[in-house]
Amino acid sequence: MDLVLLGAPGAGKGTQGALLAEKLGVPKIATGDMLRDAVRQGTELGRKAKQVMDAGQLVSDDIVLGLVRERLSSDAARGAIFDGYPRNVAQARSLEGLLGETGRRIDAVVYIDVDDDAIVRRMSGRRTDPDTGVVYHVEHNPPPAEVADRVVQREDDREETVRHRLEVYRQNTAPLVDHYRQAGVPVHTVDGGQPIDAVQGEILGLLGK
């Protein structure tokens, strides 16, 4: 299965993507996580991406395409859950081209819908384990005691940057819902304001899993 998770920053794509990857047995391709890894490792790509990410802008399509291409010919050769990618119509077309090379196509899109104020509240409470990439929330999904000391807050989770990321999302990424509908791909909308387990249950139900 090739599945795209769409939704604003903080809608819960990473959280749901990790649960779905485990349930469906396909890897999650999260370009944000891959870019943050490159930043942590101090690679040239990471150095280029850091400033752009901290400002809440989109990294260039070419950089991201290179990252995804590599995964599609390795661990994701038989299917993937795309989280945070594609981010604009050009990236969606590149992905269609890449998948088409091996006779694959996007099977379904899940659009996780959450209102802006809830998103800003979520981001301020988000914490990530830098060793495993697991995402927590100080209230809704607190980190267990053994990792509580090492979890960190993301640089781009300050309220001002989050609001800018929401604008970037509205301009660049939100049009993908119509793009996929017009391409005849099933687009399932879920209410991402529910508790994490309820969102997961609704997604699995919509996918018939």
Catalytic residue numbers read 13, 87, 126, 154, 165
Residues 82-101 interacting with ligand AP5 (rule: CB under 6 A): 84-85, 87, 91
Q: Least distance (Å) from ligand AP5 to the CB of residue 179?
A: 14
Q: Mask of contacts with ligand AP5, 179-198, x by CB under 6 A? A: -------------x-xxx--
Find the binder of ligand AP5 among 2, 3, 6, 13 (CB under 6 A): 13
Piece of 71-79, 81-89, 97-105, 179-187 that binds ligand AP5 (CB under 6 A): 81-89
* DSSP secondary structure, 170-199, as one string: IIIITTHHHHHHHTT--EEEEETTS-HHHH
71 binds ligand AP5 per the rule CB under 6 A? no
Q: Least distance (Å) from ligand AP5 to the CB of residue 32?
A: 2
DSSP state of 152: B
In the chain, % helix, strand, coil (3-state, to 5) comes to 50, 15, 35
143 binds ligand AP5 per the rule CB under 6 A? no
The 10 Å Cβ neighbour count of residue 110 is 25
Q: Which two tokens stand for residue 55?
A: 């400002």
Q: Where are the beta strands (DSSP E) in 7-145?
A: 28-30, 80-83, 108-113, 126-128, 135-137
35 binds ligand AP5 per the rule CB under 6 A? yes
Q: Least distance (Å) from ligand AP5 to the CB of residue 59?
A: 4
Beta 126-128 vs 108-113: how paired, if at all? Answer: unpaired
